[in-house]
């Protein structure tokens, strides 16, 4: 049966106390005993001991000769929290860059990631153009890699062995009259995108649509996705070079904000 102290800590307050215990163990360079934890947290030994038993059963702490240190579950939670923070920061920086690109280009801007299958991409964020005539796509839509600007820069960022594996299993379909299906030519197009760090397509995945894309990298240099400016094909004839420059500038700026270090591009205009 719980005494008064234990009953008081078998409540929402005990959640706070658990966090305080873990914080105390994190801050200490050496394992901590029950008496020291009780003094540090200004809490009864009986209540602290009850919480420590639960933490030990879940591997958040490890008791050793009367003292306690962090256990593997605590380190696992810490890693998960750091990864969650990284994802949140990444999505925030990517979104900010998309907004800038949409404002500077006046076109629809998308962020796409390569799917686990390795053969398609998914649009995970979209900012639509304010133009009356504009490209429209929904979050969650999927497209093949070989015929989209985003897909081609994602392919260009792959190691040669992985790219060759993709091309060998690829069975390209003629989605429009202009869709490139010749594997040799696709290899050349992807190589050019790798060199230029940007890819452009015209009426490849759908009639009347052009795309301009560049990859975004994190601090480790890992490609996390591609930023794309999409517009009606009629506007690419006059703005192709401008859109390529704008997309590459914003992809570079976002990557740098995520910690990836390359020489900054010089903005013009």
In a shared domain, residues 118 and 225: yes
CA–centroid distance for 91 within its chain: 6
Inform me whether the pLDDT recorded for 131 exceeds 70.
Answer: no
Out of 150-159, 195-204, 220-229, 237-246, pick the least confident: 237-246
Angle of the 236-257 helix axis to the 72-105 helix axis, nearest 10:
150
Range of the domain at 56: 4-70
Residue 176 in domain: yes
- Final residue before a domain boundary, out of 70, 96, 115: 70
Q: Do 111 and 221 fall into the same domain? A: yes
Reference 212, options 234, 245, 184; nearest CA is: 245
Q: Band of the pLDDT at 208, cuts 50, 70, 90?
A: confident
In a domain? residue 80: no
Query: Based on the domain organization, do 190 and 237 belong to the same domain?
Result: yes
**Are 60 and 110 within one domain?**
no
Q: What does DSSP say about strands 199-202 and 108-114: parallel, antiparallel, or unpaired? A: unpaired
Query: Is residue 79 a part of any domain in this protein?
Result: no
pLDDT, mean of residues 167-191: 93
Is 23 in the same domain as 151?
A: no
Final residue of a structural domain among 26, 42, 70? 70
Contact 182, 245 (CB under 8 A): no
Residue 46 lies in a domain: yes
Lowest-confidence range among 31-35, 78-82, 169-173?
78-82
Helix (H) or strand (E) segment spanning residue 200:
strand 199-202
Query: How many domains, in total, are found in the chain?
Result: 2
| Domain-located, residue 156 | yes
| Residues near 65 by beta carbon (within 8 Å), at least 6 away in sequence | none
CATH of the domain at 150: 3.30.450.40
> Do 111 and 209 fall within a single domain?
yes
CATH number (domain holding residue 43): 1.10.10.10
Give the confidence band of 136 by pLDDT, cuts at 50, 70, 90. Answer: low
Among the three residues 17, 42, 70, which one is the final residue of a domain in this structure? 70
For the chain, give the mean pLDDT: 86
User: Is residue 77 assigned to a domain?
Assistant: no
Whether residue 59 is found in the same domain as residue 99: no
160 lies in the same domain as 202:
yes
Mention every residue, 6+ apart, whose C-beta is less than 8 A from residue 104: 246, 250
The answer to whether residues 99 and 43 belong to one domain is: no
Residues 141 and 245 in one domain: yes
Question: Which pLDDT does position 5 carry in this prediction?
Answer: 47
Are 54 and 105 in the same domain? no
User: What's the mean pLDDT in 248-264?
Assistant: 85
Query: pLDDT (tens digit, 9 = 90+) per residue, 74-129?
Result: 888 887 776 665 665 667 889 999 999 999 988 999 999 998 888 999 988 888 87
pTM over 0.85: no
Residue 268 lies in a domain: no
Is 262 a domain residue?
no
> Residue 8's pLDDT band (boundaries 50, 70, 90)?
very low
Q: Does residue 243 share a domain with residue 128?
A: yes
């Amino acid at each position: 049966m719980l005494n008064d102290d234990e009953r008081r800590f078998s409540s929402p307050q005990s959640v706070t106390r658990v966090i305080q215990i873990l914080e105390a163990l994190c801050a200490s360079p050496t394992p901590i005993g029950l008496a020291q934890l009780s003094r540090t947290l200004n809490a009864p030994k009986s209540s602290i001991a009850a919480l420590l038993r639960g933490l030990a059963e879940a591997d958040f702490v490890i008791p050793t000769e009367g003292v306690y240190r962090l256990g593997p579950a605590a380190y696992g939670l810490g890693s998960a929290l750091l990864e969650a923070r990284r994802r949140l920061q990444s999505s925030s920086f990517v979104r900010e860059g998309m907004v800038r690109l949409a404002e500077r280009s006046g076109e629809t801007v998308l962020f796409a990631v390569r799917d686990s299958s390795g053969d398609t991409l998914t649009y995970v964020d979209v900012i639509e153009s304010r133009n009356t005539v504009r490209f429209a796509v929904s979050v969650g839509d999927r497209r093949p890699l070989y015929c989209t600007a985003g897909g081609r820069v994602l392919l260009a960022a792959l190691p040669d062995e992985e790219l060759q594996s993709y091309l060998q299993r690829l069975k390209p379909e003629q989605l429009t009259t202009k869709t490139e299906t010749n594997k040799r030519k696709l290899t050349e197009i992807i190589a050019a995108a790798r060199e230029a760090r940007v890819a452009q397509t015209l009426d490849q995945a759908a009639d009347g649509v052009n795309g301009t894309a560049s990859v975004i990298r994190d601090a480790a240099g890992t490609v996390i996705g591609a930023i794309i400016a999409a517009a009606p094909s009629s506007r690419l004839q006059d703005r192709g070079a401008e859109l390529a420059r704008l997309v590459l500038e914003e992809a570079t700026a976002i990557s740098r904000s995520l910690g990836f270090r390359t020489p900054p591009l010089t903005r013009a205009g």
